[in-house]
Amino acid sequence: MSQEEDANYKDIPCTNISYWDERCGEFFEEKDNFEKTYNNFINKIDIYKPREYILENLSPKKCGENFIKLINNI
């Protein structure tokens, strides 16, 4: 990463959740919310369906379809 690119992200002290919806679990922004978020996650662990989200949005088939749409719209 160049110095210019590094400077663009200097003030972002976090990871990125690019692909996410409520089926994937919980997230938090402040470390003070970790315990509450963790407890919510554990209490609802049986309802999350991250694989369903992945198959609908990020499977090789879906990515291929999205790529073809992109090419067709150029």
- pTM over 0.75, yes/no: no
- The domain of 29 spans 3-72
- In tens, the pLDDT along 21-70 reads 999 999 888 899 999 999 999 999 999 999 999 999 999 999 999 999 99
Give the largest CA-CA distance in the chain: 47
What one-character DSSP code corresponds to residue 44? T
| Cα(48)–Cα(28) distance, integer angstroms | 16
Give the position of tokens 């690019």.
18
Distances from the Cα of 59 to the Cαs of 3, 45, 54, in angstroms? Answer: 34, 23, 6
Number of domains forming the structure of the chain: 1
| pLDDT given at position 49 | 95
What one-character DSSP code corresponds to residue 12? -
